[in-house]
A and B are shown apart, each in its own frame.
Chain A
Amino acid sequence: MALTGLEIYKLLPQTNCKECSFPTCLAFAMKLAAKQAELKACPYVSEESKAKLEAASAPPIRLVEIAGDDGKLAVGNETVLFRHEKTFFHRPGLFLRVKDSLPAEEIKKQVAAADAFKADYVGIPLTLDGYAIEAASGDPAAFAGAVKAVRAASKKPLILLTSKPDVAKAWLEAASGTRPLLHAADASNWEAMAEVAKAAKVPLVARAETLDDLATLTQSLTKAGLEDLVLDPGVKGPKDSLEKLTTLRRLAIKKNFRPLGFPIITFPGAGGKADDVLLAAEHIAKYAGFIVLDTFDPASLYGLLVLRQNIYTDPQKPIQVQPGMYEINNPKDDSPVLVTTNFSITYFAIANEVEGSGWPAWLVVTDAEGMSVLTAWAAGKFDSERIAKAVKTVGVEGKVKHRKVIIPGHVAVLSGELEGDLPGWTIMVGPREAVDIGAFLKAMWVN
């Protein structure tokens, strides 16, 4: 957690020598706290103070990066408990579990199918983040073979699930050239696992059932020289997950508690009884960094990936949709033309209502800088000129044989001016609320 100016001041020489170019040490401390100056500007700060200040400026949750043959994933470095306080920065990775006990050909087939998954969400491609290979067989050779099989089918990052140091070593060779996550060190094997992880320079998961044991373990691993750690608190079900993951996030962010300031890995399908899709969803919203799924089902994966996208959207910057022309229900040359703004919620509200009503329509989305109709109108971002420009440039004139355009009821006042800006077009004033669009079209749209 960041130190205050006064806390920093106590660690400075307090001689007011001005060599940092600030008039006093206190002024320099204030600038440091505001991140407007760098500590190296002070030639006299003690090594001890320097170490303390550097430690304090480290993020409360360490950023841990893994990499496959192609593609990286970094998680951690979060700063808030609730997304509205700032934003959630690093989306948790969704991994699919693959067992090494399957024949190599079967592994390749499964991974290739999952790797081909790609859905589009408002122009953002959604895919799995990688594979968690489980040493179910206990045979180092089988495990190495499985790693090779997965790498043959996918270039995405890997998580290696084994608690046996010798198996982990065999993986080391098979996965060389990538940076996987090794899972896991526990109270019984940590020294050997730490050595393996250290030699391979890969991040290591620390696993323990209680937070006390987990903190003890991470301290041992830190002393052994490992910096990139991930926590597996062995969560079971929705309630245990919420308590442990919330507590871990709080300890890191509010208490700057270093032993537990690492990203978290969860296995929503382990433990049996819980609905694994809904538990994975909880882990997305509440604080997991890596989530290992037991099954590949596009019907649940797509929803989970969209949820992750939504929760990790920056609340200060709402999603805007691309301005342009959108086709709804396969419109023809006699279908209505509707105009709205590019605020995502506005767009979704209109698109949904039109779609639900069954009416084919052309939806012209103007660039209103991501504002809703009334806000954009009040701010001058959704005026006659902008609407006319959009209608003229999106190519709708070539798509319809009529010349009628429907504007939102909230900007009825624009219709006169718009008739001037769009010569030849009839301006129709639509309903104020999206929910009334179906009824409006039914009553007013006559060809």
Chain B
Amino acid sequence: MAVEIPKEKWSGTVREVTLGATREQGGTRTRTLTVGGETAMPHHAFEGSFPHPPALALEVRDRKPTDWSPLLLQAWGAAMDDPAAWAKAAEQAGAELIFLTLSATLADGKANTAANARAVVRKVLEATGLPLAVIGPGQAEIDNELIVAAAEEGKGERLLIGTCEDKNYRTIVAGALANDHVVQSKTPMDVNLSKQLVILIHDMGLPLERIIMDPTTGALGYGIEYGYSVMERLRLAALQGDSMTQQPLIVTPGEEGWKVKEAKVGEGVPAAWGDWNRRALNWEALTANALIYAGADIIVLRHPETLRRLRGVVDALMAA
């Protein structure tokens, strides 16, 4: 019998946002990255258009982190000692965006400085032609100092800068306005807060084509379902035409996935958890994979092997 296949038509579209600027556009990037543009629920290619695949980014730190899992230290090796070398290695591993996070402190324990932020951003911009995100340590005062400096240093490069949160967005948005960047608008797993912060940022004069929403990611087993459902609800609202929810979504399964015990440590855990290396890689990959189906447009990872696995999923979903 002929089954009549139900298709859903939506009135709304996710906004397209472009990161990175080439020489002609006033920057120095060798390529740009555009995300968004979807006209149906995530990867429902049978009833909508998906002009851009979800982008896979790798996180690079301004200095070798002291609290990352030994498995990540193994994966990146000596490249972690220098952000430029690390960014190059990430590009070789297939990243489409370098997600540079700045630490709160320098190696000697003193507060990180604007001068250091500038130097690191400069180095990374010179080491890779990929678009770049520059994200502060998440503490308002330090964020403002470091990110404004980074925004100036990367003027014209159309960076993604953050973190903009409801209590601290004005300075960073001003930095984006003055230097032609895009901002990450981060809210704690709540549809209305996501929308509200986009409105506040937009009210400062930043075009909606320069805002990416970060709905906050929970790791597998540690609240993934909250972020997952908030993303599904945001995407439904976007497709129904709610303009202030139509921003592309960025998620950080690398950071969250590797923070939890299941990924981070290999000793003193139940035997039922199985082989540490495979379990840890699965933890990051399973977290990221679920968020692809919830509507993630940019997926920030930490391990190159996870990027390789996710690339397989993204390619399969985008195949004609």
Contact = CB atoms under 8 A, between A and B. Distances in A.
Interface of A: 82-84, 117-121, 211-212, 215-216, 219, 237-239, 242-243, 246-247, 250-251, 254-255, 257, 259-260, 274-275, 277-278, 281-282, 285-286, 297-304, 306-307, 309-311, 313, 315, 318, 344-345, 348, 352, 355-358, 435-436, 439
B132 interface: no
B232 A118 contact: no
A285 B290 contact: yes
Most buried by A among B3, B67, B232, B276: B3
B220 A275 contact: no
Nearest to A219: B1
Nearest to A126: B272
A313 B225 contact: yes
B5 A302 contact: no
A301 B278 CA distance: 11
Nearest to B320: A239
B27 interface: no
B270 to A, nearest CB: 6
Given A211-B3, A352-B222, A303 B282 contact: yes
B312 interface: yes
B261 A212 contact: no
B256 to A, nearest CB: 9
A311 B286 CA distance: 12
Secondary structure call for the B interface: helix
Interface residues on B, range: 35 or more
Contact of B272 (A242, A298, A345): A298
B202 interface: no
Contacts of A118: 272
Contacts of A355: 261
Interface stretch (B38-46, B123-131, B150-158): B38-46
Interface in B212-226: 218, 220-226
Interface string B290-320: 1001000000000000000110110011010
Given A251-B3, A277-B285, A303-B282, A117 B272 contact: yes
Contact of A310 (B5, B43, B225, B309): B225
Contacts of A120: 270, 272
B232 A84 contact: yes
A281 B290 contact: yes
A215 B274 contact: no
Contact of B317 (A242, A260, A303): A242
A114 to B, nearest CB: 12
Nearest to A318: B226
Given A242-B317, A254-B6, A285-B293, A307 B222 contact: no
B29 interface: no
Most buried by B among A242, A344, A357: A242
Q: Which of A121, A238, A250, A297 has the most CB of B within 10 A?
A: A238
17 contacts: A83-B225, A119-B273, A211-B5, A212-B1, A216-B1, A242-B44, A251-B6, A255-B6, A282-B289, A298-B274, A310-B224, A310-B225, A348-B222, A352-B261, A355-B261, A356-B264, A357-B67
